[in-house]
């Protein structure tokens, strides 16, 4: 078993983690700089609070009644939506960003290292590969697979984010992604019954969630069954990536699950971003099977 830290910052020009600390992060996404909570930034910031306030176009504060949501304080003239670009092996991926009540923007910059990996895996399995992206959100991984030439299926339970992903595809000059609004576990079970196979499977499950028909998702309770079904879908020699964000789960959990169901040894990475002062902020783990 190998565990290494991958600091995913080198390819970005439109994104920068300026500073981190005091359970927050100051980030530049294209032309906007945002101040957001970050529970793992337990250290002291390098810049003063006054400097953070000066630089930030928008500041997110959690609600006392519901810590899962909150409010944005904006400087005058701050746009509600704006573009972001990522250069993936010469293909320009374009994302439409907007601030949500849950502090998210429609992109997770630390995932860039996975996009590069996905592109390279499709080069191994071939451009006739079928790739399944589960809990696919606004489609960064789907765009990466499609940019590499794969027949890509994007599954998420929230229609709004699926439509968001479709806009990102159009903005990136891509087409042909299959968009599915459905509970990920239900979709996988049906594909298994149909005898389908995929050369690549990508999973980005939340700790908790709801399907479009109210289906309940609890990561610790359902990830084992889901991976068992995914093992039936993955073609021999195919690739797989499982992202985990829950602070209560070790990367070794992902290693054990994948080793058990796929009978192969995954590589483990801790995804992280370094701020401009060199402080490295961990933002999740990923277990990957290479093609």
The domain limits of the chain are 106-289
- State percent of the chain over pLDDT 70: 95
For the stretch 81-132, pLDDT in tens is 999 999 999 999 999 999 999 999 999 999 999 999 999 999 999 999 999 9
Which pTM was predicted? 0.95
Mean pLDDT of 202-224: 87
The pLDDT tens digits for 13-59 are 899 999 999 999 999 999 999 999 999 999 999 999 999 999 999 99
**Under CATH, domain 106-289 is a member of which superfamily?**
Vaccinia Virus protein VP39 (3.40.50.150)
Quick one: three-class SS letters along the chain? CCEEEEECCCCCCCEEEEEEECCEEEEEECCEEEEEECCCCCCCCCCCHHHHHHHCCEEEEECCCCCCCEEEEECCCCCCEEEEEEEECCEEEEEEEECCCCCCCCCCHHHHHHHHHHHHHHHHHCCCCEEEEECCCCCHHHHHHHHCCCEEEEEECCHHHHHHHHHHHHHCCCCCCEEEECCHHHHHHHHHHCCCCEEEEEECCCCEEECCCCCEEEHHHHHHHHHHHHHHHEEEEEEEEEEECCCCCCHHHHHHHHHHHHCCCCEEEEEEEECCCCCEEEEEEEEEECC
pLDDT at 3 > cutoff 70: no
What confidence category does residue 142 fall into, taking pLDDT thresholds of 50, 70 and 90? very high
pLDDT at 184: 96
């Amino acid at each position: 078993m190998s565990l290494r830290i991958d600091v995913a910052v080198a390819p970005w020009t439109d994104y920068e983690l300026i500073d981190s600390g005091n359970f927050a992060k100051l980030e530049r996404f294209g032309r906007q700089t945002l101040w957001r909570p970050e529970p793992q930034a337990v250290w002291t910031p390098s810049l003063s609070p006054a400097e953070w306030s000066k630089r930030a176009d928008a500041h997110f504060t959690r609600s006392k009644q519901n810590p899962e949501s909150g409010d944005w304080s904006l400087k005058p003239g701050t746009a509600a939506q704006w573009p972001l670009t990522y250069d993936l092996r010469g293909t320009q991926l374009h994302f439409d960003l907007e601030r949500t009540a849950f502090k998210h923007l429609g992109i997770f910059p630390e995932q860039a290292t996975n996009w590069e990996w996905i592109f390279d895996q499709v080069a191994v399995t071939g451009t006739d590969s079928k790739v399944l992206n589960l809990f696919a959100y606004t489609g960064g991984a789907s765009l990466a697979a499609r940019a590499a030439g794969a027949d890509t299926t994007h599954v998420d339970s929230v229609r709004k984010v699926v439509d968001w992903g479709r806009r990102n595809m159009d903005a990136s000059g891509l087409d042909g992604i299959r968009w599915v609004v459905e509970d990920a576990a239900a979709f996988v079970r049906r594909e298994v019954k149909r005898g389908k196979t995929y050369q690549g499977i990508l999973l980005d499950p939340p700790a908790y969630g709801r399907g479009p028909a109210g289906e309940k998702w609890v990561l610790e309770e359902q990830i084992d069954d889901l991976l068992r079904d995914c093992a039936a879908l993955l073609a021999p020699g195919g690739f797989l990536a499982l992202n985990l964000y829950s602070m209560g789960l070790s990367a070794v959990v992902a290693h054990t699950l994948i080793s058990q169901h796929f009978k192969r040894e995954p590589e483990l990475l801790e995804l992280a971003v370094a701020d401009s002062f060199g402080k490295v902020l961990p933002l999740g783990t990923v277990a990957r099977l290479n093609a």
